[in-house]
């Protein structure tokens, strides 16, 4: 199959390209590199063993998307391309709606016109807002608390409407919990620009000496150690679920909306200590005030994904920390560093370097 991966140069999309290629699919990336680097392409080539096709384009341009579909015959689409910073979405709601909704509508229209009827969509646990109880299953009340989350909810609803009106159209809304970690080669990973908003990349940068200490946002939550609990999921497990979801759609079994998490909640302090054990680095931290909008506990009931897709996570928090640290330590400045010497090393040598 030929799969269009929108946002395939980004953190999760690049890992999905690897999983798709391993499954034997041809991959075409479409990305405007607004939050990624073209340098990821050489690294993907290094991992996959063949060049990855990539088209630089902005999904907000209807004509560019139409031209893309005129040039290729896609069997399915994975749609990762979105803006994702919660804080920024409060400051720029129009930009978020334009990018995440208008861009996706252009994509859906082009798919419709080209008769491409299989879509895997990146949604988020953010659609549950402040959950009434944990673990969260897919029947839980949907209640977004920020403009970014609203774009995800609107897109899920629009996709559901399309599935309802076009019987040939099949889609999977995948609600990610907290993706972390990196490909075991350390060649691709999460490369946030500026100060990381999320916990794992921040910890990595403290370990690498780029930041002096971690600020832990509150230790007075009603959790065993007082810090916030989340469901961290290894990005390799996450993208394996995408391939399973695509298989499910191709079998014509129906549409899907499922949580992707481990089902296990981990506190901020537990993650810090797991990282220290996996990396051998110490992570200085201080407890500061709670972050606005944070909630005490968010973790998934992932049993529906297991029932429908036969998928469950395999990698534990040690593997998440080990692989995040390998990526960070090989690439202290993310994709700023050219592939250089890494290019000629056998992959297993890179894997054992960190
Ligand atoms: P990312 O920013 O690393 O990747 C997104 C990619 O899409 C980037 O390469 C960016 O350049 C591209 N892009 C954005 N807008 C575009 C446009 N208009 N046209 C073309 N390309 C565009 O983000 P990620 O962490 O890989 O997230 C992927 C998806 O998963 C997003 O939809 C995000 O909302 C969702 N998600 C992510 C997380 C997370 O913690 N990373 C959690 C839940 C959901
Ligand atoms: C956040 C977003 C969510 C988004 C997800 C992935 C909010 C409210 N939620 O989730 O919509 O889908 O990122 O992009 O922004 N923490 C610290 N110090 C830090 C960073 C985080 O203590 O420097 C704590 C947080 O308080 C939280 C936990 O670590 O308890 C995880 O935070 P984070 O990685 O930002 O993820 P979420 O808040 O779960």
Q: What is the pLDDT of the chain when averaged over all its residues?
A: 95
**Ligand 1 centroid to residue 80 C-alpha, Å:** 5
Taking the C-alpha atoms of residue 249 and residue 124, their distance in angstroms, rounded to an integer, is: 20
Q: Is the pLDDT of residue 349 over 60?
A: no
Dihedral sign, CA of 216, 217, 219, 224? negative
Which of the pair, 94 or 341, is modelled with greater confidence?
94
Cα separation, 240 vs 246, whole angstroms: 10
* CA 289 to ligand 1 center in whole angstroms: 29
Q: Is the pLDDT of residue 346 over 90?
A: no
Q: Contact at 8 Å (CB) between 9 and 53?
A: no
Average of per-residue pLDDT across 39-54: 97
Other beta carbons less than 10 A from residue 215's beta carbon: 14
Residue 122 beta carbon below 6 angstroms from any ligand 1 atom: yes
pLDDT in tens, 234-256: 999 999 999 999 999 999 989 99
Q: How many CA atoms lie within 13 A of 4 on its CB side?
A: 30
Both structure tokens of 288? 């500061």
Task: Determine the pLDDT at residue 347.
Answer: 53
Q: What's the pLDDT at 292? A: 87
- 261, 262, 264, 260: which is closest to 245 by C-alpha? 260
Which atom of ligand 2 is closest in space to residue 229's alpha carbon?
30
Does residue 2 register a pLDDT over 50?
A: yes
Spatial distance between the Cα atoms of 11 and 99, rounded to a whole number of angstroms: 18
Q: What is the mean predicted confidence (pLDDT) over 274-300?
A: 96
Per-residue b or e along 121-143, where b marks 16 or more CB atoms closer than 10 Å to that residue's CB: bbbbbbbbbebeebbbebebeee
Q: Please give the biggest Cα pair distance in the chain.
A: 55
User: Which pLDDT score, from 0 to 100, does residue 341 have?
Assistant: 56
How does DSSP classify residue 300?
A: B
Would you say the CB of residue 176 lies under 6 angstroms from ligand 1? yes
Q: Is the pLDDT of residue 354 over 50?
A: no
Ligand 2 centroid to 198 CA: how many Å? 5
Q: 34 in ligand 1 pocket by Cβ < 6 Å? A: yes
Q: Which residue has the tokens 């980004």?
A: 10
Instruction: For residues 211 and 219, give the distance between their C-alpha atoms in angstroms, rounded to a whole number.
Output: 21
Is residue 142 scored above 70 in pLDDT? yes
- With contact defined as beta carbons under 8 Å apart, do 223 and 267 qualify? yes
pTM of the model: 0.96
Choose which residue among 15, 41, 58, 81 to substitute to test ligand 1 binding: the one with the highest number of ligand atoms within 8 A of its C-beta: 81
Within 13 Å of residue 256, how many CA atoms lie on the same side as its CB? 31
Q: Is the pLDDT of residue 350 over 90?
A: no
Distance of CA 317 to the CA centre of its chain: 17
Reported residue count of the chain is 354
Which positions are catalytic? Answer: 148
Query: What ranges do the domains of the chain cover?
Result: 2-353
More confident call, 292 vs 134: 134
Helix axes 147-165, 103-114, angle to 10 degrees: 20
The pLDDT of residue 343 is 57
CATH (residue range 2-353): 3.40.50.720
Q: Where are the extended beta strands (E) located within 237-347?
A: 256-260, 266-267, 285-288, 297-298
């Amino acid at each position: 199959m030929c799969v269009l991966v929108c946002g395939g140069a980004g953190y999760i999309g690049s890992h999905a390209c690897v999983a798709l290629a391993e499954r034997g699919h041809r991959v075409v990336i479409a990305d405007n590199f607004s939050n990624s680097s073209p340098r990821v392409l050489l690294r993907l080539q290094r991992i996959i063993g063949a060049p990855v096709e990539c088209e630089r384009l902005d999904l907000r341009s209807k004509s560019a998307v139409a031209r893309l579909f005129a040039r290729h015959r896609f069997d399915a689409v994975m749609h990762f391309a979105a803006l994702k910073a919660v804080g920024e979405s409060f400051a720029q709601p129009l930009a978020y709606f334009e990018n995440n909704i208008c861009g996706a509508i252009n994509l859906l229209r082009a798919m419709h016109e080209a008769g491409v009827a299989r879509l895997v969509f990146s949604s988020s646990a953010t659609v549950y807002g402040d959950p009434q109880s944990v673990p969260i299953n897919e029947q839980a009340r949907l209640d977004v608390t920020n403009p970014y989350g609203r774009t995800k909810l609107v897109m899920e609803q629009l996709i559901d409407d399309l599935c309802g009106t076009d019987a040939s159209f099949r889609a999977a809304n995948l609600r990610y919990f907290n993706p972390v970690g990196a490909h075991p080669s350390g060649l691709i990973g999460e490369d946030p620009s500026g100060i990381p908003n999320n916990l794992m990349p921040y910890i990595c940068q403290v370990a690498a000496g780029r930041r002096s200490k971690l600020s832990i946002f509150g230790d007075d939550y009603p959790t065993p150690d007082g810090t916030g609990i989340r469901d961290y999921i290894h990005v390799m497990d996450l993208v394996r679920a995408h391939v399973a979801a695509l298989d499910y759609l191709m079998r014509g079994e129906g549409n899907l909306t499922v949580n992707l998490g481990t089902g296990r909640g981990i506190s901020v302090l537990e993650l810090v200590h797991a990282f220290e054990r996996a990396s051998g680095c110490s992570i200085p931290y201080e407890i500061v005030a709670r972050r606005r909008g944070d909630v005490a506990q968010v973790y998934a009931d992932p049993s529906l994904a297991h029932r429908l897709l036969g998928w469950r996570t395999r990698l534990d928090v040690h593997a998440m920390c080990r692989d995040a640290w390998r990526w960070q330590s090989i690439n202290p400045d993310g994709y700023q560093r050219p592939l250089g010497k890494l290019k000629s090393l056998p992959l297993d040598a890179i894997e054992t370097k960190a």
